């Protein structure tokens, strides 16, 4: 059974069709890329999968269960996490708190215990702080733990966003343009990084990216979107010479 | 990490323990004072009265800060919750409790007022799921007006004339108790899992939801706790002033609380305490100016906003309110960093 | 017949709310700021009307023009002194400042004029009775003048360079200024127009309900704010619609229910409306890109 199966996904924004009959199937452990010109509908796919919008038509099956229509935090609890095209950290909170917030659903105590400080509060808070610090440590962010997220350099902010997403304990990770604004050197490091977290955290990854070196070098399979519809699907080698793909990207000059 | 490094850390932790102790000592001293002052007339009765109003306003400001400051919403109807608490508590001591026992049952009346206000808070929270910002302001504003209108139309609670002859049950110890309770509970809330949920709503609600925060639940909780304490303040207020009418709890009162919160600094409990104290005391000090008091006061507020838009405390918090563990851990991390950075000392 | 009478009253009150609501919506549209002092500008307009029309004895037209001009200048001054420094501050700071400015205006006026003022009629009012309904020339004047002002405003915003600049600033202030739009000047013009309309409303209110007091702007201000939001804040037609809607609801509720229920029913209806249309009737949520 595929981990994620999307069928007939269609969505409109006002009168504009953002996605038309989109389908996607991802098996456990795969690393799949989603590419396409700007405005093709890639982030819309992410938004629909994670529950930000309700799709006009279609099914989204995660581990066999329908998730279209569920609240975003329910979907996250089921095991899907994401990062954002424009970084959406909690800027005025500390780095540590950004990650701790993502442990919300896993805190083992309720409102009363929090308000009056009894029961499992202390133990759970220590557990969460420990796990959050461990996660930050694994990402090389531990020394920034008490810094405000807004003060982090750009590259570290992107890393923090991924760390925060991983705090929710996902099985499927959606990365939205993780390499935006990076130079070729940084991209190579990012590719290593993504390979590492995939192994370390047993993840299935779907990523949106414009930087071709990363997509071609990293992804096992690539899906190409244009004007809301899938125009090609295959291995990097197949996609690179696919005529419709070349046509979509500036009429033929889409050399990576 | 060598002896010097370890010694420095120990010293710091000692400092911390000292400050923790200082906090507890202050609390105990305050508790004793709250009994001693009225009993032995240590302060003028007028000053005692002002202190009690300060306490009530601290509870109002802290509870509104929870929703407006920490959660980043814009609720402008806080006086509505206060009214519900005031009327409920008054009805309890006047009509429900046996008259001899009201002094002992007073905390129950106040808590009862808070509880009913909390239930109402539940209702007001629901529109907050779909609307934000200016639209939520309308909802809370309408709520405030509706409460006032409803109370004006219920003859059983005196209609527009209101309730008279309420017993003077509010005392300095009770004010102290409820203020401390409010600050303690709200501070606990903010530094807990649910508190992080609230902050995520202020920072970026969608991102928060996508990180697993149950924003509905958290919003409900915030409104309920906020309304509860506003109701408590209302009950204390009613039993201090000894009469209440709907006009006291209209938009002007809500505006007062808004000013206290933003004056002191949103997202800071110390700020709420400061804002409430300064606002109340200043208004009293300026009383000789009569009508010009209310001309000068807003002028100073405007000037303050221009020069310190985030309020007096900004979003900084007073050390005693940050949980000891958090503070110590952060301090230790910083010490650890510095010690690691200076291997020569090792 | 009674209904038609009440509808006329509703239109009169609604026109006044609409004019004030326009001021709110214009400032909100351009600065995303709720100018809570706006209701008090309306009150100042009514007092200017008193000064010009009663103290100085001027006829209607100069009174109206002077009041509008005076309120407009006051609005611009307030913007320059109190709001401009906070343009880049957190969103709530200008709101609190506005509350402060409003309180200042109310109490300053109260200090100068401790007793309510009565506005003697500036116009000869004729009342016609048409089939059981009495129509006064004042009512017609108020409604007609309001509609004319609103149409002029709409034309101004849609057809002139200034209007276009206003719309540009409301969408993206930084880019507009980079494109050479004199942002400060346009914002001042916006405030001037909004305040001027509020002042006009003050004059009309003073003529229609001749006793004025310094706190009259509070309730009216909040109600006009609600009108603007219900209609869809940022939308000129929304403000007009909201104003007439609220005026209508208020008058009709007072006509058929005991007067103490008026506010309660009116606000409850508005709440229901907002629950049904969370962004106001003509409002559009500013799309948030995720």
> What residue of B is the nearest CA neighbor of A91?
B203
- pLDDT number for residue A254: 46
Say how many domains are in chain A: 2
- Hey, which residues does A31 pair with through a beta bridge? A205
Residue A86 is assigned to a structural domain of this protein: no
Residues of chain A with pLDDT under 70: 250-256
Chain A nearest-CA distance from C121, in A, is 52
Contact, C23 vs C202, CB < 8 A? no
Best residue of B73, B209, B265, B305 to probe chain C, by most C CBs closer than 10 Å: B305
Q: Please check whether residue A44 touches C, CB under 8 A.
A: no
Give the pLDDT score at C84.
92
Q: What is the pLDDT of residue A252?
A: 46
Q: Which of C94, C261, C274 sits opposite B138 (nearest CB)?
A: C274
A105 occurs within a structural domain: yes
Measure A179 CA to nearest chain B CA, in Å. Answer: 20
Q: Mutation target for B interface from A75, A86, A100, A115: give the one with most B CBs within 10 A.
A: A115
Contact between chains at B160 and C260 (C-beta distance less than 8 A): yes
Nearest CA in chain C to A45: C290
Residue A85 covered by a domain:
no
Position A52 in a domain: yes
B233-251 per-position pLDDT tens digit: 999 999 999 999 999 998 8
B225 lies within 8 A of chain A by CB: yes
Instruction: Report the chain A residue with the minimal C-alpha distance to residue C288.
Output: A52
φ/ψ of C132, rounded to 5, equals 90, -5
pLDDT over 50 (residue B343): no
pLDDT, one tens digit per residue, over B296-323 is 888 888 998 888 888 888 778 877 778 7
Position A137 scores a pLDDT of: 95
Asked if residue C211 lies in contact with residue C255, where contact means CB atoms within 8 angstroms, the answer is no
Once rounded to an integer, what is the mean pLDDT over residues B117-136? 84
Q: How is chain C split into domains, by residue range?
A: 17-220
pLDDT on residue B130: 76
Range of the domain at A126: 92-167
Mark the ranges of chain C whose per-residue pLDDT is less than 50.
none
* Domain endpoint, select from A135, A167, A199: A167
Are A103 and A162 members of one domain? yes
Q: What is the ipTM metric for this complex?
A: 0.92
Q: Residues A212, A216, A222, A226: what is their CA dihedral angle, to the nearest 10 degrees? A: 20
Interface of B with A in 165-204 (CB under 8 A): 185, 188-189, 192-197, 199-200, 203-204
For residue A208, is it within any domain?
yes
Quickly state the pLDDT bin for B345 (edges 50, 70, 90).
Answer: very low
DSSP classification of residue A148:
B
* Interface with C, mutate which of B64, B71, B126, B145 (most C CBs under 10 A): B145
Shared domain for A71 and A100, answered yes or no, is no
Chain B residues with CB inside 8 Å of C102's CB?
Answer: 298
CB A101 within 8 A of CB A39: no
What is the reported pLDDT for C58? 85
Neighbours of B289 (CB within 10 A): 13
Residues with Cβ < 8 Å from A34, sequence gap 6 or more? A42, A45, A206, A207, A208, A222, A223, A225
Which residues numbered 199-218 in A keep a CB inside 8 Å of some CB on C?
A: none
Q: How far apart are CA B292 and CA B304, in angstroms?
A: 18
The mean pLDDT of chain B is 88
Shared domain for A241 and A186, answered yes or no, is: yes
Q: What is the mean pLDDT of residues B132-161?
A: 86
Among the candidates A106, A138, A167, a domain finishes at A167
Task: Give the mutation candidate from B212, B229, B316, B327 for the A interface (greatest A CB count, under 10 A).
Answer: B212
Q: Report the phi/psi class of residue C32: left, alpha or beta, with left for phi > 0 and alpha for psi in -120 to 50.
A: left
Neighbouring-strand partners of residue C211: C118
- B327–chain A nearest CA distance, Å: 10
Q: Is residue A189 part of a domain?
A: yes
Same domain? For A26 and A105 the reply is no
Do residue B298 and residue C110 have CB atoms under 8 angstroms apart?
no
Looking at the structure, tell me whether residues A62 and A101 fall in a common domain: no
Residues A67 and A106 in one domain: no
Residue A87 lies in a domain: no
Final residue before a domain boundary, out of A132, A167, A202: A167
**B294–C264 CB contact, under 8 Å:** no
Residues 6+ apart with CB under 8 A from A64: A1
Q: Is residue A12 part of a domain?
A: yes
Size of interface B-C (CB pairs under 8 A): 125
Residue B1 confidence (pLDDT): 53
Both A163 and A174 in one domain: the answer is: no
Planar angle of CA A28, A32, A34, nearest 5 degrees = 140
- Beta-strand relationship, A31-35 and A221-226: parallel
Same domain? For A210 and A158 the reply is no
- pTM across the whole model: 0.89
Closest to A67 in 3D by CA, of A122, A125, A7: A7
Q: Catalogue all structural domains in chain B, each as residue range(s) with its CATH number.
A: 43-315 (1.10.3470)
Contact B203 A105 (CB under 8 A): no
């Amino acid at each position: 059974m595929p981990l994620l199966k999307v069928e007939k996904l269609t969505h409109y924004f006002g009168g504009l069709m953002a996605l038309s009959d989109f389908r996607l199937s991802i098996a456990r452990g795969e690393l799949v890329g989603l590419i396409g010109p700007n405005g093709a509908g890639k982030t819309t796919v992410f938004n629909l999968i994670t529950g930000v919008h309700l799709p006009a038509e279609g099914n989204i099956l995660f581990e066999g269960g329908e998730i279209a229509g569920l609240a975003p935090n329910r979907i996250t609890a089921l095991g899907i996490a994401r990062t954002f095209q424009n970084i959406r950290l909690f800027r005025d909170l500390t780095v540590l708190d950004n990650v701790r917030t993502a442990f919300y659903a896993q805190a083992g105590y309720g409102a009363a215990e929090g308000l009056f400080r009894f029961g499992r509060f202390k133990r759970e808070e220590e557990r969460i702080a420990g796990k959050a610090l461990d996660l930050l440590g694994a990402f090389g962010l531990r020394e920034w733990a008490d810094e405000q997220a807004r003060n982090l350099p750009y590259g570290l902010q992107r890393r923090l966003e991924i760390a925060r997403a991983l705090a929710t304990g996902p099985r499927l990770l959606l990365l939205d343009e993780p390499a935006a604004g990076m130079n070729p050197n940084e991209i190579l490091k990012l590719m290593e990084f993504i390979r590492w977290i995939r192994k370390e955290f047993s993840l299935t990854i779907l990523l949106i990216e414009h930087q071709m070196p990363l997509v071609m070098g990293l992804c096992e399979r690539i899906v190409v979107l244009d004007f809301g519809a899938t125009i090609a699907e295959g291995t990097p080698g197949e996609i690179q010479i696919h005529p419709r793909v070349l046509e979509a990207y500036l009429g033929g000059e889409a050399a990576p | 990490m060598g002896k010097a490094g370890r010694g420095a850390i120990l010293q710091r932790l000692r400092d911390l323990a000292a400050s923790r102790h200082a906090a507890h000592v202050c609390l105990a001293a305050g508790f004793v004072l709250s009994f001693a002052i009225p009993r032995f007339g240590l302060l003028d009765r007028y000053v005692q009265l002002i202190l009690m109003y300060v306490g009530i306003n601290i509870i109002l400001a802290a509870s509104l800060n929870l929703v407006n400051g920490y959660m980043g919403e814009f609720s402008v109807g806080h006086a509505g919750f206060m009214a519900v608490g005031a009327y409920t508590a008054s009805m309890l001591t006047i009509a429900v409790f046996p008259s001899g026992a009201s002094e002992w049952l007073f905390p129950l009346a106040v808590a009862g007022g808070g509880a009913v206000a909390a239930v109402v808070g539940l209702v007001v929270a629901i529109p907050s799921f779909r609307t934000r910002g200016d639209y939520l302001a309308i909802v809370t504003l309408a709520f405030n007006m509706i409460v006032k209108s409803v109370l004006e139309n219920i003859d059983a609670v005196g209609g527009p004339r209101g309730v008279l002859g309420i017993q003077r049950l509010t005392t300095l110890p009770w004010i102290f108790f409820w203020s401390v309770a409010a600050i303690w509970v709200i501070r606990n809330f903010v530094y807990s899992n649910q508190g992080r949920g609230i902050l995520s709503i202020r920072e970026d609600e969608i991102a928060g939801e996508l990180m697993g925060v149950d924003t509905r639940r958290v919003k409900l909780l915030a409104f309920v706790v906020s309304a509860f304490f506003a109701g408590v303040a209302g009950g204390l207020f009613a039993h201090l002033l000894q009469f209440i009418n709907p006009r006291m709890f209209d938009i002007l009162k809500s505006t007062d609380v808004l000013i206290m919160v933003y004056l002191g600094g949103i997202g800071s409990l110390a700020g709420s305490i400061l804002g409430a104290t300064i606002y109340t005391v200043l208004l009293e000090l300026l009383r000789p100016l009569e009508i010009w008091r209310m001309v000068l006061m807003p002028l100073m507020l405007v000037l303050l906003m221009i020069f310190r838009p985030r309020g007096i405390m900004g979003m900084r918090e007073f050390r005693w309110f940050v949980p000891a563990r958090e503070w110590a851990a952060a301090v230790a991390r910083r010490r650890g960093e510095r010690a690691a950075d200076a291997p020569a000392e090792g | 017949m009674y209904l038609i009478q009440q509808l006329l009253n509703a239109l009169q009150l609604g026109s006044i709310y609409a004019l004030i609501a326009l001021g709110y919506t214009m400032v909100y549209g351009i600065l995303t700021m709720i100018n809570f002092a706006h209701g008090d500008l309306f009150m100042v307009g009514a007092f200017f009307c008193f000064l010009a029309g009663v103290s100085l004895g001027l006829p209607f037209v100069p009174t109206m023009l002077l009041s509008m001009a005076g309120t407009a200048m006051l609005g611009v001054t307030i913007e320059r002194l109190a709001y401009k420094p906070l343009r880049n501050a957190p969103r709530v700071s200008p709101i609190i400042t506005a509350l402060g400015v409003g309180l200042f205006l109310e109490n300053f006026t109260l200090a100068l004029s401790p007793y309510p003022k009565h506005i003697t009629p500036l116009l000869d009012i004729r009342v016609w009775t048409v089939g059981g309904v009495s129509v006064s020339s004042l009512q017609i004047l108020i409604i007609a003048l309001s509609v004319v002002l609103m149409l002029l405003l709409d034309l101004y915003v849609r057809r002139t360079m200034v209007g276009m600049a206003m719309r540009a600033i409301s969408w993206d202030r930084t880019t507009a200024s980079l494109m050479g739009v004199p942002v400060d000047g346009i914002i001042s013009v916006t405030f001037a127009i909004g305040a001027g309309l509020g002042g006009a409303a003050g004059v009309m209110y003073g003529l229609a309900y001749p006793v004025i007091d310094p706190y009259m702007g509070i309730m009216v201000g909040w109600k006009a704010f609600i009108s603007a939001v219900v209609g869809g804040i940022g939308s000129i037609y929304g403000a007009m619609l909201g104003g007439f809607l609220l005026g209508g609801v208020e008058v009709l509720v007072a006509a058929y229910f005991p007067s103490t229920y008026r506010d309660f029913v009116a606000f409850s209806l508005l709440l229901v409306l907002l629950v049904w249309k969370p962004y106001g009737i003509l409002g559009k949520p500013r799309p948030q890109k995720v």
